[in-house]
Copies of this chain bind each other. A is one copy, B any other.
C-alpha cells in the first residue's frame, strides 16, 4: 500500500466533503445522525460479530482485563452509542451564528459568522464508541473528520463505520464527511500529522504516550489535554462541612477521570479541625492518603509521606496527596507549579480570597465552593463534549460543538475602497 498516496486521497476527499458539509444545513446533518443511531441498533448482531474478532485477538495478545472491557461492544454498549448520537441531534447547530458585527464609518457592514474548522483528524485508542461520538460531533459542527482508532479495535471500527457511511449516503451527504482509516499502518498517523493545509486540527484521545507522540510529531495544531492534576484548597475559615463534602466528591465519586482531585491543600489554621474527619471518610472509602509532614502531625491517620513526585502525579485512582499551606499565596503557587492547568477549586467564605484565587490560578477551569468533578461539558450545559482542552489557544476546558468551530469575517458594502 502506498501510504503517501492513501493519505493524499483521504485528506483531499475530506477537504471536498468539508466544503459541502459547511453549507449542508442542520436538517440534513440531523437526518444523518438519526440514521447512524438507527443503523447501530439495526446492525447490533454484525457489530458484535466483528467485535468478537477484536476480542479474540486481544485475549490472544494478552491485553489487560481493563483494556478488554473498554474494547467490548455488547447490546448495552451499542444502545449507549446510539443514544449518544441522538443526544447530539437535540443540540443547537453552531454553524451560522453571528458572533458580532458592526458598521464602519465608511458604511461597510461587518459580521463575524461562525463556520466549521474544516477537517478534523481524531487519533484515539481502543473504545469503538469514540468512532460514533467523535464522528457525530464533528458532523453536527460541520467538520469533515478523519478517524484513526486503535489497531486492537480495527474490526469493530470498520463495522461501525459501515453504518456511519451508509447513514451519510442515505441523508444525501458526501460519505467522506466522516472517513475511517481502515489500515493499522502507523505511517498513516505520521503522514496525517504533517498534512498542513489539508488537515486543520488534530485531536488525540487516549493515554499520555499517544498524546505525546501526536504533539511531538504534528505540524498541525493539536487540541489536547495531557492530564488532570486537579486541586481543592480548603481556605482558612472555610465551611468545613462543605469542604468535606466537596473534597470527598472530588476524590471518590469517580477517581479514574481527569477532573478528579489528586491533591488536597489545607490552610494550616484548619488542618487539625479538618483533616481527621475527611481522612477518615477517605480511608473508609478505600482511598490511600499520602501527606506532607505537617499534615501527618495534624492527622496521624495519614500513614504515608507524599514526595515531590506525588505533587506531579495524576493517580487516576483512589490515592490522594495532602499538603498543608500557610497562605493562599502558597496554595496558588503550589497549584501553578505542580498542576496541569485543568481544574482547581477553592473552598472559602472570603470574597477577597475567592477573587484572588480565581484571578491568579492559571487553569482552564477555576472553581469556588464546588467539586472539580463538575468540570464537564454536560455539567456546564454545553451538551456532549469532544474532550477537555488544557491548551491556551482557541478553546480551554470542556469543548462542545461551538469549540469545534471558528469564524469568518463578512463585509458588505456598496463600492467601498481603501483611501
Contact = CB atoms under 8 A, between A and B. Distances in A.
Interface in A374-413: 374-376, 379-381, 391-398, 406-413
- For this chain, the copies found in one complex come to 2
Interface of A: 19, 22-23, 102, 104, 108, 110, 117-118, 196, 200-201, 215-216, 218-219, 221-223, 239, 242, 245-246, 249-250, 253-254, 336, 354, 358-360, 362-371, 373-376, 379-381, 391-398, 406-418
Contact of A408 (B223, B374, B397, B414): B397
Contacts of A407: 396
A217 to B, nearest CB: 8
Counting chain B CB atoms within 10 Å of each CB, which of A110, A239, A393 scores highest?
Answer: A393
A416 B239 CA distance: 13
B363 A408 contact: yes
A352 to B, nearest CB: 14
A417 B249 contact: yes
Given A110-B380, A118-B392, A219-B218, A413 B365 contact: no
The binding surface of chain A is classed by DSSP as mixed
Counting chain B CB atoms within 10 Å of each CB, which of A242, A254, A397, A408 scores highest?
Answer: A408
A253 B366 contact: no
Nearest to A414: B369
12 contacts: A23-B359, A104-B379, A221-B394, A365-B408, A366-B411, A368-B411, A369-B412, A371-B416, A373-B418, A375-B411, A394-B394, A394-B406
A104 B371 CA distance: 14
Contact of A393 (B117, B239, B374): B117
Given A365-B410, A380-B409, A394-B406, 9 more contacts: A104-B379, A108-B370, A215-B219, A250-B417, A253-B418, A370-B412, A370-B416, A371-B417, A380-B411
A374 B416 contact: yes
A351 to B, nearest CB: 11
Nearest to A369: B413
A212 to B, nearest CB: 9
A200 B394 CA distance: 11
B253 A368 contact: no
